[in-house]
């Protein structure tokens, strides 16, 4: 008997009526009845797990290969191997219902589940500091880096609130940002207002790693740094402020106070120092303004050390000097950097920085209040733009803070360049008139004055 073709077997089991026909086929005749009315040609198939009886039992059976009768050693977990051993035995699949197959593969009660060990990275110093602030807050017993961060954020809120009262209709834009390596900051900026052409009050928190070349450079001023370390974790926190008024009679003011710390891998402080200062940059000089500003700073310095003001005032005159112009940027204030354990202990220097920050509004608010509504014309506005050009030259060419910020990986450039004025002017071979107010300012900038 000829073997049945596979296509006929498929048709028979599908319930189709096969009609012998010479070509061409008449499809309407082949499928003359709906499938639902046709009687299937074979009985309904049984579930595959019901064993099928064999009317003629086998008399001979070939032995199975050893690989089918003996479990093969496997690196799987012990409980899985034990359960799999039962499945290796030669038996018909119809003898084991599906639910029993699933149950055999499940771990038995009392046996621990074997899972891959988790190799999570250890939390960074920034992560641990965040947890500490969230769970315990910041107290006098907290690390200095957390106390300095809390201080500059409090002063930022205080200063922004005071400046907002001068121009209530022009609200500060507040941007909060974060760094992937840890830290972040808050930038508060006001532009094109009634009082300030541009005003920025920023806080910045930076966690990072110092490479060996940077460590060698810093050891010149900080001998406490480990000379054998190939890299060190560091933390930097600072409050930076620059206010550029609309009125040429009102002076620009700058402030920056910061804290820097290097740490071991466990977060223990390795070396630390404070820096900062504040200075006044007028376009038109009013002696009483300069005297008031310097006196407020001197009062804050004298609370801690009477040598601070004259020493840091001289440092300020030297630092804010524009070499290619042979003049100072403004009428000065104070400036200091790298104050560490060789100067005073950490608590004393922290208290000094705190008082300096607290004196800012006392020194500047009376000045801006007196000058913001004074009349001025095109000549005064033009001179203001020329002086702001000098401000830009210093910040982009000589300022260490700007250079450090722009060269820090992941730095926020918009916050760093916030210090630049909204407008500035460079006029070729510009010279002020002899005997004018503009000339008097230049004479003071070429020879610093002792205001108090």
Looking at the annotation, which residues are catalytic?
A: 254
Phi, psi of 253 (to 5 degrees): -135, 145
Crossing angle of helices 287-302 and 360-371, in 10° steps, is: 170
- Nearest to residue 312, comparing CAs of 345, 328, 334? 334
Q: How far apart are CA 292 and CA 283, in angstroms?
A: 17
Cα-Cα-Cα-Cα dihedral sign, residues 92, 95, 97, 101: negative
Q: Please state, in angstroms and rounded to a whole number, the distance separating the CA atoms of residues 34 and 26.
A: 16
Type and span of the H or E element at 405: helix 400-406
Cβ-proximal residues to 199 (8 Å cutoff; 6+ apart), any chain: 163, 172, 189, 190, 191, 193, 242, 243, 244
What span, in angstroms and rounded, lies between the C-alpha atoms of 272 and 345?
10
Q: Are 203 and 175 in contact (CB under 8 A)?
A: no
Give the residue among 211, 118, 266 at the shortest CA–CA distance from 409.
Answer: 211
Residue with tokens 């000549």: 379
Question: What is the residue whose two structure tokens read 């030259």?
Answer: 393
Contact 235, 224 (CB under 8 A): no
The two three-digit tokens of residue 379, written as one number: 């000549």
SS3 category, 150: helix
Contact by Cβ (8 Å): 279, 333: yes
- 141 contacts: CB under 8 Å, gap ≥ 6: none
Residues 209 and 262 sit within 8 Å (Cβ to Cβ): no
Q: What tokens were used for 57? A: 């039992």
* Burial (CB count <10 Å: 0-12, 13-18, 19+), residue 138: middle
Q: Which residue has the tokens 């009660």?
A: 109
């Amino acid at each position: 008997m000829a073997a049945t073709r596979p296509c006929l077997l498929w048709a028979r089991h599908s319930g189709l009526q096969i009609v012998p026909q010479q070509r061409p086929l008449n499809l309407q005749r082949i499928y003359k009845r709906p499938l639902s009315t046709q009687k299937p040609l074979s009985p309904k198939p049984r579930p595959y797990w019901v064993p099928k009886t064999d009317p003629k039992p086998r008399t001979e059976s070939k032995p199975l290969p050893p690989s089918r009768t003996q479990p093969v050693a496997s690196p799987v977990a012990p409980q899985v191997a034990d359960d799999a051993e039962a499945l290796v035995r030669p038996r018909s699949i119809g003898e084991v219902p599906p639910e029993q197959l699933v149950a055999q593969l499940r771990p038995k009660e009392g046996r621990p589940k074997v899972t891959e060990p988790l190799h999570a990275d250890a939390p960074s110093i920034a992560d641990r500091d965040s947890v500490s602030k969230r769970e315990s807050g910041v107290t006098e017993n907290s690390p200095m880096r957390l106390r300095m961060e809390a201080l500059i954020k409090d002063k930022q809120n205080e200063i922004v609130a005071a400046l907002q009262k001068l121009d209530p209709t022009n609200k500060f834009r507040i941007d909060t940002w974060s760094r992937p390596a840890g830290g972040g900051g808050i930038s508060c900026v006001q532009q094109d207002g009634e009082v300030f052409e541009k005003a920025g009050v920023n806080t910045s928190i930076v966690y990072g790693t110092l490479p060996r070349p940077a460590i060698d450079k810093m050891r010149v001023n900080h001998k406490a740094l480990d000379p054998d370390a190939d890299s060190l974790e560091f933390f930097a926190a600072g409050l930076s402020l620059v206010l550029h008024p609309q009125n040429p009679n009102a002076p620009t003011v700058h402030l920056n106070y910061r804290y820097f710390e290097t740490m071991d891998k466990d977060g223990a402080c390795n070396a630390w120092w404070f820096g900062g200062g504040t200075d006044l940059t007028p376009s038109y000089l009013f002696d009483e303004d300069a005297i008031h500003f310097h006196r407020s700073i001197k009062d804050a310095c004298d609370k801690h050390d009477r040598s601070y003001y004259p020493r840091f005032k001289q440092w300020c005159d030297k630092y804010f000097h524009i070499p290619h112009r042979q003049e100072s940027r403004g009428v000065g204030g104070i400036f200091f950097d790298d104050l560490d354990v060789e100067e005073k202990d950490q608590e004393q220097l922290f208290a000094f920085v705190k008082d300096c920050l607290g004196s800012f509004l006392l020194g500047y608010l009376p000045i801006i209040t007196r000058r913001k509504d004074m009349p001025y014309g095109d000549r005064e506005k033009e001179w203001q733009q020329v002086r702001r050009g000098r401000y830009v030259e210093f910040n982009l060419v000589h300022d260490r803070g700007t250079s450090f910020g722009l060269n820090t990986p992941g730095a926020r450039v918009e916050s760093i360049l916030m210090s630049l004025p909204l407008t500035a002017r460079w006029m070729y071979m510009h010279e002020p008139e002899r005997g004018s107010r503009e000339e008097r300012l230049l004479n003071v900038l070429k020879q610093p004055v002792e205001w108090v």
